[in-house]
Structure 1
C-alpha cells in the first residue's frame, strides 16, 4: 500500500495523518523480523494519536455518527493491543498476517467513516 491521491479527503489535518498511517503500514509490510516490533509499536502509537485527534474533530463538527466511528476506533485499538501482545510473545507470523489486512481496512474506513467526517468538517467550516 502506498499513498495515493485517491486517499485525499480535502481536510489537510486528516490527509496528513492518513498519509503517515499509510507510510507506516507500508513499512510494516516490508519490515524485517528485527524491524517489525519497533515499527508495529510506532504504528500502534500513531493510530492511538490519530484516533484521539479524529475524536476531537468529530466533537468539533458535531458528527452525527460519532458513536459508530468511535466504536470502530476502539475495535481497531483493541486489535492493535492484542497483536502487540502476540508480538511480545514472538508471534511475528500472526502480526504479519494482520498487517496484510490493514490496507483493505484503511480503504474501507477512509471511504465510509472518514469521508463522512471530512464532509461534516467542511460543512462546519463553511
Structure 2
C-alpha cells in the first residue's frame, strides 16, 4: 500500500510564498490520502470534498506561480504553464475515473498526484526558482 507523504524541508525552493503553497498542496494531498484510506461509509463524501479543495487550490497555486515567473522575467514560463495545464487535465481525467465505491482508485490517484507534485518541485520548480531568487 502507498504511504502518506510527509513534508520535508528538502522540498523548499527558498521562496517563502511558494514554499508555503507547496506545503499546502502536500497537506491537501494528505487529506486525499485520509479520504482514500478511511472508512468505506465516508469515502464518497470525503473524497468529493477533498477533490474540490484540491482542484481549486491547484488552479490558484499554478496561477500564482506563473504570475511570479512573469513578474521576474523567467523566459520558460510558457513551457512551465504547459506542464501545469497537462497536470490539471490529467487530474480532471483521473477524477472522472474515480469510482465512488472503489477506494483503491483513490489511493492510486493519490500516488499519481504526489509523485507528480514532488517531481515537479524537485525539477521544474527548482529551475525557475534559481532564476528568480536573485531578483527578489
TM-score scaled to structure 2, two decimals?
A: 0.82
Aligned residue in 1 for 2:127: 116
Q: Deviations over 1:70-101 (max 9, x none)?
A: 110000111122233334x6375434312112
Aligned residue in 2 for 1:56: 67
Kindly indicate whether residue 24 of structure 2 is the aligned counterpart of residue 13 of structure 1. no
Q: CA deviation at 1:116?
A: 1.3
Unaligned runs of 5+ in 2: none
Backbone CA RMSD of aligned residues: 1.7
Task: Check conservation: 2:32, 2:50, Cα contact below 8 A.
Answer: yes
Q: Deviations over 1:20-55 (max 9, x none)?
A: 000111111121313111101101110000001011
Aligned residue in 2 for 1:90: 100
Q: CA deviation at 1:7?
A: 1.0
**SS at structure 2 position matched to 1:64:** coil
**SS at structure 2 position matched to 1:70:** helix
1:24-39 maps to which residues of 2 (within 5 A)?
24-31=28-35, 32=38, 33=43, 34-39=45-50
In structure 2, C-alpha distance between the alignment counterparts of 1:123 and 1:91, rounded to whole Å = 49
Unaligned runs of 5+ in 1: none
Q: CA deviation at 1:65?
A: 1.6
